[in-house]
């Protein structure tokens, strides 16, 4: 697969998204709807090196379906808002110190501004989706938000279940990540007036990309370079979250290795930090990371294949970028 420089190819789209967010916030400021101390929190959270994957997916999927005359950026930014709203609340929940290598909003401004700014972006996002995208898009995005929360609760209830299956894992990441990315891509199609067949194809692309993206996230949690990911290595294991590499390893490991991993998961969190290298080695030896990587690749291939209905000379470039984005999801190191 030839690597393409996505950032360079998408530079003007990213600039458009950033500008659309600035315009939207500025319009609210000029109507006295955002006090200056709220604006400061919003800008800190929104402009911190985010990859803008969700708005880009919305813009690109819409482009596959239309001549692109309708300006979709004001709708597409809703998905960055919603994403950043969940990041703000996640960082409060995790007592995170940093986000993408910079101090997290909850550390800079405190708990109250971080929670409230998340609520603000949440409401603004729903407003933009409902008024610019219509009822069908609102339904999608509200359902996806509900599923994100439900996925988190499922993960919480799974923490004490050491007998998790791949199916349990996929239930969690489907809700936590994939449905939202799927909804973003569906919205692109709906906005562009695509038929249901095409909207379904975009949904498939998005959900498979989302699943692969999350699997890669879970692999990086063990194998990533914290200087690049901006996250503590081994955090999922520390928190007792069983992700695909671990679940697969437990299925194939020998009794002694199994007892070692399960003993750590049943025991004290502090012990898990000191033994993270041993745990990682057992997972690697039992093909946990390899298996997860291969599964993520299959999902990416499936997602890309679903886009075949859009094959045309006119769509060649956009399809190339969407294919590149899907491969990026599993090749990224941050």
The count of other CB atoms within 10 Å of the CB of residue 156 is: 11
Count of residues in contact with a copy of itself, rule CB under 8 A? 43
The encoded tokens of residue 191 equal 């906005």
According to the binding rule CB under 8 A, does residue 259 interact with a copy of itself?
A: no
Q: Which of 147, 219, 283, 321 binds a copy of itself (CB under 8 A)?
A: 147
Residues 12-71 that bind a copy of itself (CB under 8 A): 28, 33-38
By CB under 8 A, name the one of 4, 14, 108, 154 that touches a copy of itself: 154
Query: Per rule CB under 8 A, is residue 311 in the interface with a copy of itself?
Result: no
Residues 6+ apart with CB under 8 A from 287: 248, 249, 252
- Which residue among 3, 69, 135, 167 contacts a copy of itself (CB under 8 A)? 135
- Closest to a copy of itself by CB, 80 or 257: 80
Q: Which residues, 6+ apart, have CB-to-CB distance to 225 below 8 Å?
A: 233, 333
Which of 111, 263, 305, 333 is the binder for a copy of itself (CB under 8 A)? 111
Among 52, 83, 99, 122, binds a copy of itself (CB under 8 A): 122
Return d(Cα 113, Cα 92) in angstroms, integer. 10
Q: Are 109 and 41 in contact (CB under 8 A)?
A: yes
Query: Is 239 near a copy of itself (CB under 8 A)?
Result: no
Site for a copy of itself in 264-303 (CB under 8 A): none
The smaller minimum CB distance to a copy of itself, of residues 136 and 285, is found at 136
Q: Which is nearer to a copy of itself, 142 or 223 (CB)?
A: 142
Measured between alpha carbons, how far is 58 from 77 in angstroms, rounded to an integer?
Answer: 9
Q: Which residues pair with 159 in a beta bridge?
A: none
Residue choice 59, 60, 117, 292 for contact with a copy of itself (CB under 8 A)? 117
In the complex, the smallest distance separating the C-beta of residue 29 from a copy of itself, rounded to whole angstroms, is 10
Q: Least distance (Å) from a copy of itself to the CB of residue 62?
A: 20
- Determine the 3-state secondary structure of 103 from DSSP: strand
Q: Which stretch binds a copy of itself (CB under 8 A): 52-60, 114-122, 206-214, 227-235?
A: 114-122
Q: How many CB atoms lie within 10 A of CB 253?
A: 21
Rounded to 10 deg, the angle between the 53-65 and 179-191 helix axes is 40
Cβ at position 207, least distance to a copy of itself in Å = 16
d(CA 209, CA 107): 32
Scan for tokens 């909850």, then name that residue: 106
Q: Which is nearer to a copy of itself, 122 or 203 (CB)?
A: 122
Distance (Å) of CA 176 to CA 80, 110, 217: 16, 25, 12
126 belongs to the binding site for a copy of itself (CB under 8 A)? yes
Collapsing DSSP to helix, strand or coil, 102 comes out as strand
CA distances from 190 to 14, 69, 104, 133 (A): 21, 14, 35, 8
Interacting residues with a copy of itself (CB under 8 A): 28, 33-38, 86, 89, 92-93, 111-113, 115-120, 122-124, 126-127, 130-131, 135, 138-139, 142-143, 145-150, 152-154, 156-157
């Amino acid at each position: 697969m030839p690597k393409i420089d996505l950032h360079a190819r998408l530079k003007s789209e990213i600039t458009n998204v950033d500008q659309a967010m600035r315009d939207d916030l500025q319009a609210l400021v000029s109507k006295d709807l955002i006090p200056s101390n709220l604006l400061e929190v919003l800008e800190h959270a929104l402009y911190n090196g985010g990859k803008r994957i969700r708005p880009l997916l919305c813009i690109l999927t819409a482009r596959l379906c239309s001549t692109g005359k309708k300006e979709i950026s004001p709708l597409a930014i809703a998905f960055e808002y919603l994403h950043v709203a969940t990041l703000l609340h996640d960082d409060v929940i995790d007592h995170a110190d940093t986000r993408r290598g910079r101090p997290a909003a909850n550390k800079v401004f405190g708990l109250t501004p971080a929670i409230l700014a998340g609520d603000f972006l949440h409401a603004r996002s729903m407003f933009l989706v409902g008024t610019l995208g219509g009822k069908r898009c609102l339904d999608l995005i509200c359902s996806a938000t509900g599923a994100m929360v439900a996925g988190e609760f499922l993960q919480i209830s799974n923490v004490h279940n050491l007998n998790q299956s791949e199916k349990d894992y996929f239930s969690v990441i489907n809700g936590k990540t994939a449905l939202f990315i799927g909804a973003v891509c569906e919205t692109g199609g709906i906005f562009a007036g695509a038929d249901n067949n095409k909207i379904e194809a975009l949904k498939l692309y998005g959900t498979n990309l989302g699943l692969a993206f999350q699997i890669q996230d879970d692999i990086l949690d063990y194998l990533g370079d914290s200087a690049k990911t901006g996250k503590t290595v081994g955090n999922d294991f520390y928190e007792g979250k069983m992700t695909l590499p671990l679940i697969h390893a437990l299925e194939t490991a020998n009794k002694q290795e199994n007892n070692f991993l399960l003993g750590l998961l049943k025991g004290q969190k502090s012990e898990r930090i000191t033994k993270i290298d041993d745990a990682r080695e057992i997972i690697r030896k039992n093909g946990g990371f390899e298996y997860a990587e291969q599964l993520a690749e299959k999902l990416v291939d499936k997602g890309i294949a679903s886009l075949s209905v859009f094959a045309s000379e006119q769509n060649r470039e956009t399809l190339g970028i969407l294919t590149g984005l899907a491969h990026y999801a599993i090749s990224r190191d941050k």
